[in-house]
């Protein structure tokens, strides 16, 4: 009888382990994103200047969009990544020049993809971002309107309140965002959000002397780096309230940076992002 009892205990433990592994694998699975047309998020006005365009939508969201030269045609197959930049509180007037420039630099464009990368810089409706479902629908319609953008290669990038929003939207829409990078985020994720976030690759960066922000955001940042595949948490002693820059070092080895002149032990943020968006 004792032998039977032990076998039941072992069976129960093994079954529980298998169930946990199954749930974890299911959470990590990345189904194809479902893109839905919505006229409210389709441009009602558009002004084109070189590779940049400025658009307004009936939903009340305005945005700047960079499309690399040669990637504007309707007949193109999905290929290039899309970086979505969320500004901080009160920063929408300078968002394009402050954050868009980071990803339109020729070296960064080449590192992300030989054909370049699209860069979307939406402006918040008020002075801060809310409504993750609405902004996700905007991203979907930008992808639908520009066929060269690969819907499986979308990353969120944010600073301060925009970084908190990048956390929120990436965990709310884990099939749409393959990666998310946050600088100075104070977001506190729930257990349900963390579970959904296991499908996303995260790069979280904080500074200990960013008082109030660091204390609020550090647990979520560390948790995401631990449970999410190929993710990073970078902590600085003294950098204040900052945004992530392409040349920032992760302290890790670059997996595929040698051909770009990057030493194997000096992975940069842009190296991590390029790898995270590689299919």
Position 17 confidence tier, pLDDT thresholds 50, 70, 90: low
Q: Report pLDDT digits (tens) over 244-262.
A: 999 999 987 655 545 555 5
Q: Write phi, then psi, for 126 (nearest 5 degrees).
A: -110, -135
Q: Report pLDDT digits (tens) over 160-185.
A: 999 999 999 999 999 999 999 999 99
Average pLDDT over every residue of 13-19: 50
Tokens, residue 227: 């449970």
| CA dist list (Å): 202 to 37, 163, 183, 245, 267 | 28, 11, 11, 15, 15
* Widest pairwise Cα distance in the chain: 81
CA-based nearest residue to 223, from 253, 254, 182 = 182
Contact indicator for 207, 236 with CB cutoff of 8 Å: yes
CA-based nearest residue to 166, from 179, 153, 175, 149 = 179
Do β-strands 52-56 and 45-49 pair in parallel, antiparallel, or remain unpaired?
antiparallel
Do β-strands 52-56 and 62-66 pair in parallel, antiparallel, or remain unpaired?
antiparallel
The residue that leads in pLDDT, 26 or 44, is 44
35-276 belongs to CATH 3.40.50.1820: yes
Q: Whole-prediction pTM value?
A: 0.87
Contact indicator for 247, 273 with CB cutoff of 8 Å: no
**Would you kindly state where each structural domain of the chain is located, as residue ranges?**
1-30, 35-276
Whole-number pLDDT of residue 23: 42
Cα–Cα distance for residue pair 92/127, rounded to 1 Å: 7
Q: Report whether pLDDT(16) > 50.
A: no
Do β-strands 201-207 and 80-86 pair in parallel, antiparallel, or remain unpaired?
unpaired
Tokens, residue 121: 């810089």
Position 89 confidence tier, pLDDT thresholds 50, 70, 90: very high
Q: Using the 8-state DSSP alphabet, how is residue 268 labeled?
A: B
Whole-number pLDDT of residue 19: 36
Tokens, residue 51: 């590779």
Whole-number pLDDT of residue 26: 45
Identify the three-state secondary structure at position 153: strand
């Amino acid at each position: 009888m004792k032998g039977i009892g032990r076998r039941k205990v072992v069976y129960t433990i093994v079954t529980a382990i298998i169930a946990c592994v199954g749930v974890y694998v299911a959470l990590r699975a990345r189904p194809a994103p479902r893109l839905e047309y919505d006229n409210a998020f389709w441009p009602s006005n558009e002004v084109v200047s070189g590779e940049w365009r400025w658009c307004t939508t009936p939903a009340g969201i305005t945005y700047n969009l960079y499309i690399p030269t040669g990637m504007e045609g309707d007949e193109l197959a999905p290929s290039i990544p899309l970086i979505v930049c969320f500004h901080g509180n009160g920063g929408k007037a300078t968002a394009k020049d402050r954050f868009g420039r980071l990803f339109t630099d020729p070296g960064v464009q080449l590192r992300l993809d030989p054909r370049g990368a699209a860069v979307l810089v939406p402006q918040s409706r008020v002075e801060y971002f809310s409504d993750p479902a609405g902004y996700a629908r905007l991203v979907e319609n930008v992808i639908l309107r520009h066929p060269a953008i690969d819907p499986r290669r979308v990353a969120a990038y944010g600073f301060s309140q925009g970084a908190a929003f990048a956390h929120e939207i990436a965990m709310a829409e884990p099939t749409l965002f393959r990666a998310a990078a946050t600088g100075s985020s104070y977001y506190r994720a729930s257990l349900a959000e963390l579970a959904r976030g296991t499908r996303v690759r995260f790069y979280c960066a904080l500074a200990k002397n960013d008082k109030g922000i660091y204390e609020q955001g550090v647990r979520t940042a560390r948790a995401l780096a631990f449970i999410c595949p190929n993710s990073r948490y970078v902590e600085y002693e003294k950098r204040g309230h900052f945004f992530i820059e392409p040349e920032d070092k992760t302290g890790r080895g670059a997996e595929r940076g040698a051909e770009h002149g990057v030493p194997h032990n000096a992975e940069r943020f842009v190296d991590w992002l390029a790898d995270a968006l590689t299919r």
